[in-house]
Structure 1
Amino acid sequence: MPKILIVGGGYAGFYTAWKLEKWLRAGEAEVTVVDPLPYMTYQPFLPEVASGSIEPRHAVVSLRRHLKKTRVIAGKVEKITHAEKTVTILPNAGEQYELDYDIIVVTAGAVSRTFPIPGIADEAIGLKTIEEATAIRDRILTNFDKASQLPEGPERDRLLTFVVVGGGFAGIEIFAEMRSFASALLDKYPELEFEDTHFHLIEAMGRIMPEVSVKTANWVVKNLAERGAEVHLETQVQGAVGGLVELSTGVSFESDTIVWTAGVMASPMLKNTDLPTEERGRLRVRPDLRVHDDKDEVVIDAWGAGDVSAVPDLSGGGVGGFCVPNAQHAVRQGKQLAKNLVSELRGEDLKDYEHKNLGAVAGLGLGVGAFQSGKIGITGLPAWFMHRGYHGLAMPSWERKFRVVWGWVLNFFLGRDIVSLEARVHPRAAFEEFASRPRVAVAAEPAAAGHPGPAGAPVPVGGAVSKE
């Protein structure tokens, strides 16, 4: 059987494997997925995870549970040598080894793109993984606990000042969800007032959310201002050393929580491959999702999709002629790639990937949303229901859909869970603090010449004796 190797278990990789399991005949191909994480993260839910509206485990999809016919390898692909059809794998446990394949599908995704701004690498946190979203939630809760014990002053202001860098969809959603979360928490902290909390979003451009109309974007800015959140447009972060955020406008303030959402870049793994990449480091891909070189010649048995690939946008709505890196494209590309792979194995014609974006929807905290489709813009509660309805249906597998929707229902009646589990980062701390340890043996001093030690005391010979 031909061996199909999928590098990356995110949206595109998971959906490619999931659909191959459905469409391949028995014995037609052997499929393997390599990813250091055993799950796919549904990233549109990360803002709601950070605000306590969704249980973290419900926003991820287990690869081993849902890919029943696919071999899953937990590890990193360190190098791709397509000329020899081998990859070098560093497993999560064990020694590095090489694995051969017949067909490779590169869906390694993207990572946060940052700039060499002093302090950002040390102080900020991204929003690409479930772990980051959970850490943001726990940080907010822990900071509220600490601030409630402090008098008014710089330290309390620092704990209750929250900053998001980047005014795209991800940045606006996490910013609005954090504001909504903090406002709800104030009922549980009588020591704190609404005016004690400070929220700043920093955007270098003159507007937010380029996917929606100017009218809708301006409504979002106004809505956030009414909720006590400030949006700084045409502003750049110049430094964040020690949590001191310095802006290009001359404004500065201290913050204990800085979330970075200002862009993504293709997985750096592509630097270690002989597959062709373009100037931004993305895999060169044709509309049918086959890899091609700079002469537009197809690279046999190599495919790519998702954020790691420069997929032409045949609808004409992309940036620079390519599909924007988002979940909507990655999911659909994964499905189309699986269809084309099956067609290729059976000698059938391939189809180009083409998807016209019908609209964009964002959740902006409980009961608030924004939707845009062409010239139609919907804001407020109706858009919020549209956001939850769309993503509730888009979540893969009925098992995951049920868990997410049931969690929303419970939160409606019982409210959000506000327990911080920040101590999970050092789970052995409490055990270590009180654990008994063996007493250290102490060497006895040798008796002076002619003066033996006390009656009954042993005299050490060539070694130490415990005082007991």
Structure 2
Amino acid sequence: MSTTERPRILVVGGGYVGLYAARRILKKMRYGEATVTVVDPRSYMTYQPFLPEAAAGSISPRHVVVPLRRVLPKAEVLTGRVTTIDQDRKVAVVSPLVGESYELPFDYLVVALGAVSRTFPIPGLAENGIGMKGVEEAIGLRNHVLEQLDKADSTNDEAVRRRALTFVFVGGGFAGAETIGEVEDMARDAAKYYNNVRREDMRFILVDAADKILPEVGPELGKWGLEHLQKRGVEVYLSTSMESCVDGHVVLKNGLEVDSDTIVWTAGVKPNPALARFGLPLGPRGHVDTEATLQVKGSDYIWAAGDNAQVPDLVGRDAGNENAWCPPNAQHALRQAKVLGDNVISGMRGFPQGEYRHANKGAVAGLGLHKGVAMIALGKRVKLKLKGRLAWYMHRGYHGLAVPTWNRKIRVFADWTLAMFLKREVVSLGAVENPREEFYEAAAPVSAAVRESRPKAKAS
């Protein structure tokens, strides 16, 4: 970490908003005008819309992350967490990966902590659930599912086999529907290489407390997506919830009980709970309360945007909805980050702040290879609704262009192009989660033998 006499712009969080806001500030800033410092526990930003495809092996996991130091070479990138903020002194406390915490002074602050999985006090969820918020979880889910097929193919115990081939997904929004669609696709392909596993042996279950799935694309396309998944053999239980999953025994509110080693939790997100320690004004659900300029209410040097911010939706309010807020999605995060970056520069130079205003352009979702839904807004009242292969092309085209940096765009499109000619990889690398286990098993007996062979000290 460098010391500087220049003003410091501290960006807390290196996700979508943090990365794009820092890039925008660095682009607009004059040479030597300020120091931009980005603090995040990870040294990379994850493009979350690609996590389902990474879990299914359609995209290399390394291609859905963007290294912060490479993309922000003129910024100071610190790997750690901001634990508290003293607004009176304009000082943040940073806890690095190793070593003691230290204070970091700042002049301007950008809060971009994003969101975490929204969970409920369900018995067994913490011990057995698998999230889908990070690339590590996507890789883990892929390896885990393929390991279950290995397990089912190699056992003679019918109960073990049935448990291994039962996959439960909780949450029917974008993350849940896309993930179960992609994973079912991968499992269907993988089953071709197993002698004792067929798709008919597998049981995929999707659970949601709402009465529909994919609400973001509207009722018509949501109904089509539901029927499509059901035709593929996915059991969908709506208007119900999971009551417990202790030791993998899943109990649903509708009375269904199954045993499963795979319980994937995608039931929404909530603002990062660390916000409660920052002393910022928070909305009823824990979001940072901001003005339309993305300035935190009551402050002229703090901005917030993205999933951790409660940003007024000016377009919705112009239409008569006084309580319209921007939804937490990548479409808004990208555009908010650019406005935020411009406003930080304006605030630093004493110029007026610009307001964030954006009309929803629609939504796209992929449900596996060549399958998807898309709702594209062509005007205030005209919406183009697509389903099937064409919607899937729209989904890939939109997100392929939206992923940050040309480096990652080219790599993602290269993955997709190669997949047209090469078969999907269906190998599990579960051992990467415990890479030292085999070496330890080889080395531990030797070490123990050496200890036993040493002469014992005589008691005095």
TM-score (ref. length: structure 2): 0.93
Corresponding position: 1:38 with 2:46: no
Query: Which residue in the other structure is 1:326 paired with?
Result: 329
Partner of 2:450: 439
Cα distance, 1:204 vs structure 2: 0.7
Aligned to 2:174: 169
Q: Secondary structure at the match of 1:118?
A: coil
Corresponding residue number in structure 2 for 1:187: 192
Q: Summarize the Cα distance change of 1:190–1:302 in structure 2 as closer, same or farther, 3 Å threshold.
A: same
Q: Distance in 2 between matches of 1:351 and 1:212?
A: 30
Q: Structure 2 counterpart of 1:370, which letter? A: V
Task: Please show how residues 299-314 of structure 1 align to structure 2 within 5 Å.
Answer: 299-314=299-314
Deviation at 1:273, TM superposition (A): 1.5
Note if contact 1:83-1:274 (Cα within 8 Å) is conserved in structure 2: no
Look up the SS of the partner of 2:210 in the other structure.
coil
Question: What residue in structure 2 maps to residue 139 of structure 1?
Answer: 144
1:419 equivalent in structure 2? 427
Instruction: Mark the CA change 1:154 to 1:211 in structure 2 (over 3 Å): closer, same or farther.
Output: same
Q: Take 2:373 and 2:40, find their aligned partners in 1: how far apart are those partners? A: 34
| Distance in 1 between residues matched to 2:107 and 2:144, nearest whole Å | 46
Whole-Å Cα distance in 1 between the matches of residues 275 and 101 of structure 2? 18
Gaps of at least 5 residues in structure 2 are 1-5, 378-382
Change (3 A) 1:442 1:180: closer
Show the counterpart of 2:411.
403
2:371/2:388 contact within 8 Å kept: yes
Counterparts in 2 of 1:64-463, with a 5 A limit? 64-151=69-156, 153-292=158-297, 298-316=298-316, 320-374=323-377, 375-435=383-443, 436-437=446-447, 439-441=450-452, 462=458
Tell me, in whole angstroms, the C-alpha distance in 1 between the residues paired with 2:157 and 2:55.
26
Mapped to 2, the partners of 1:24 and 1:442 lie a distance apart of: 67
> Which whole-Å CA distance do the structure 1 matches of 2:59 and 2:283 have between them?
38
Equivalent position of 1:4 in the other structure: 9
Distance 1:91 1:151, change over 3 A: same
Residue of structure 2 equivalent to 1:295:
none
Query: Which has the larger share of helix?
Result: 2
Give the Å deviation of 1:387. Answer: 0.6
What do the CA deviations read for 1:15-58 (whole angstroms, capped 9, x no partner)? 01111111111011110000010000000000001111111110
Aligned residue pair count:
444
Pairwise CA distance, 1:152: 6.5
Deviates more, 1:119-128 or 1:431-440: 431-440
Q: Which amino acid aligns with 2:359?
A: K
CA RMSD of aligned residues (A): 1.8
Separation (CA, whole Å) in 1 of partners of 2:309 and 2:206: 29
What SS does structure 2 have at the residue aligned with 1:414? coil
Indicate if the aligned counterparts of 1:443 and 1:463 stay in contact, CA closer than 8 A: no
CA offset digits 1:66-102 (Å, max 9, x no partner):
1010000000111111121011111001111111100
Whether the 8 Å contact between 2:301 and 2:347 is mirrored in structure 1 is: no
SS in 2 for 1:290: coil
Q: Secondary structure at the match of 1:440?
A: helix
Q: Quick one: which amino acid aligns to residue 142 of structure 1?
A: E
Give the letter aligned to residue 16 of structure 2: Y
Partner of residue 456, structure 1: none
Give deviations 1:225-269, integer Å, cap 9, x for gaps.
111111111111111111111111111111111111111111111
- Tell me the distance in 2 between the aligned counterparts of 1:410 and 1:325: 33
- How many percent of aligned residue pairs carry the same amino acid? 47
Secondary structure in structure 2 of the residue aligned to 1:303: strand
The amino acid across from 1:206 in the alignment is D
Task: Look up the equivalent residue of 2:128 and give its one-letter code.
Answer: E
Q: Which amino acid aligns with 1:350?
A: Q
Separation (CA, whole Å) in 2 of partners of 1:280 and 1:345: 31
Query: C-alpha separation between the residues in 1 aligned to 2:139 and 2:375?
Result: 29
Aligned 8 A contact 1:213 1:377 in 2? no
1:201-226 CA deviation, whole Å, 9 max, x = no partner? 00111111111222211111111111
Deviation at 1:190, TM superposition (A): 2.5
Q: What residue ranges of structure 1 are gaps of 5+ in the alignment?
A: 293-297, 445-459
Quick one: which amino acid aligns to residue 416 of structure 1?
A: R
- The answer on whether the counterparts of 1:143 and 1:159 sit within 8 Å (CA) in structure 2 is yes
In the TM superposition, residue 105 of structure 1 has moved relative to its aligned partner by: 0.5
